Amino acid sequence: RSMSSVTIPPPACMLRPLEAPLRYLFGPGPSNVPPRILAVGAKPIIGHMHQEMFEIMNDIKRGIQYAFQTENNMTISMSGSGHTAMECAVFNVVEPGESVLVAINGIWGERVAEIAERMGANVHRMVKTPGGYFSNKEIEQAIAKHKPVLFFLTHGESSAGLCHPVNGIGDICRKHNCLFLVDTVASLGAAPIFMDKQNIDILYTGSQKALNAPPGTAPISFNDRACHKMFNRKTKPVSYLLDMTHLSNYWGCDGKPARAYHHTGPVSGFFALRESLSILAEKGLEESWKKHKEVAGYLYRGLEDLGLKLFIPERELRLPSVTTIAIPDGYDWRELLAYIMKHHNMEMTGGLGPSIGMVMRIGLMGYNCEKTNADMALNALADALKNCKKSKA
């Protein structure tokens, strides 16, 4: 047999068209993408180093500055999902052997602790069960004890459905010479966050939640304190791809006259991200926060009318974008979710990480955040509760 003949035939699946059903994405993300954003994602590709692309990236930067309420120059989007931003933050500001403090009240703190451990940080964990939260006093005591260079907190804990208070923590971090890193992947656009006013040193989010863009890009911003730490390190960050010395140049944030090739950014993903930020700018942050709160409140009433119990008892601590329900007694949550998917073409999900088996989650984010969608979700749940027989637990 000659070296040039193929021995692996074309796979049959590749000869069939792609199947991607239209589905109600009422889980914790990705969320449904509005036609306007889908449309820009289908525009012709331009070069990632063309002047038009740089203009689009400059616009994205301004859009993120608005969404984060920050004037930080070092504001970019990652080429990658929320995890890319988590790794970028940790890899760039922490050096091996340095102390990091992580607040864990769901899966996201666990993930960041693991990321920091993998790059050789000395990780200290503050742990609460899902749905728990930390007082500023507890946080200050732990910071004083472990003297971390970085403290991590999840604003919108999507695995537990908790929106953690942030006020005052940035000041505590400053007092103890520690950087404050906040995850708003699940909360940005749905619950208020003010990066500059709240003294948050590093903030990131994801494209696929309340921003309603497709998954695959992740805005992140560093203030001057964070820049000072990350650009005065002794060692290079472990990741070439996520090194902010390169990314800041690619995004035109380093003051150099020219941008050099580092990696090929996701051109269509950036088009879509720009459109999603432009929708948020048109609508306005306050309006978006108000809408999420209203629709969430409407959903809470409907859930309680169905006899369901909300997992987070304190109403003001509930994450408006992702609502967690305690699993109703005697039901198998997997069966309920499978029923809803099968009969209503609708995604809701179970817990994640430590909240598995504790909660079911309904996400109504951005474009999906409408009372009519809450009604559909409630109707599907009511139907599932009626038809999924109670197990004899």
Residue with smallest beta-carbon separation from ligand PMP: 82
CB 44 to ligand PMP: min, Å: 26
Which residue, 163 or 299, is less far from ligand PMP as judged by CB? 163
C-alpha to C-alpha distance for 360 and 328, rounded to whole angstroms: 9
Give the angle 345-350-353 at the CA atoms, nearest 5°. 145
Question: Which two structure tokens, joined as six digits, stand for 185?
Answer: 């992947």
Which residue, 269 or 302, is less far from ligand PMP as judged by CB? 269
CB 197 to ligand PMP: min, Å: 21
CB 85 to ligand PMP: min, Å: 8
Which residue, 32 or 73, is less far from ligand PMP as judged by CB? 32
Give Dmax over CA atoms of the chain in angstroms: 74
CB 99 to ligand PMP: min, Å: 22
Which residue, 206 or 351, is less far from ligand PMP as judged by CB? 206
CB 162 to ligand PMP: min, Å: 10
Which residue, 73 or 198, is less far from ligand PMP as judged by CB? 198
- What residue ranges bind ligand PMP (CB under 6 A)? 28-29, 81-83, 108, 154, 156, 158, 183, 185-186, 206, 215
CB 322 to ligand PMP: min, Å: 8
C-alpha to C-alpha distance for 105 and 134, rounded to whole angstroms: 9
Which residue, 185 or 381, is less far from ligand PMP as judged by CB? 185
Question: Which two structure tokens, joined as six digits, stand for 94?
Answer: 């922490």
CB 379 to ligand PMP: min, Å: 26
CB 270 to ligand PMP: min, Å: 16
Which residue, 110 or 117, is less far from ligand PMP as judged by CB? 110
Which residue, 87 or 95, is less far from ligand PMP as judged by CB? 87
Task: Map the chain to HEC letters.
Answer: CCCCCCCCCCCHHHHCCCCCCCCEECCCCCCCCCHHHHHHHCCCCCCCCCHHHHHHHHHHHHHHHHHHCCCCCEEEEEECCHHHHHHHHHHHHCCCCCEEEEEECCHHHHHHHHHHHHCCCEEEEEECCCCCCCCHHHHHHHHHHHCCCEEEEECEECCCCEECCCCCHHHHHHHCCCEEEEECCCCCCCCCCCCCCCCCCEEECCCCCCCCCCCCEEEEEECHHHHHHHCCCCCCCCCCCCCHHHHHHHCCCCCCCCCCCCCCCCHHHHHHHHHHHHHHHHHCHHHHHHHHHHHHHHHHHHHHHCCCCECCCCHHHECCCEEEEECCCCCCHHHHHHHHHHHHCEECEECCHHHCCCEEEEECCHHHCCHHHHHHHHHHHHHHHHHCCCCCC
CB 29 to ligand PMP: min, Å: 5
Which residue, 82 or 237, is less far from ligand PMP as judged by CB? 82
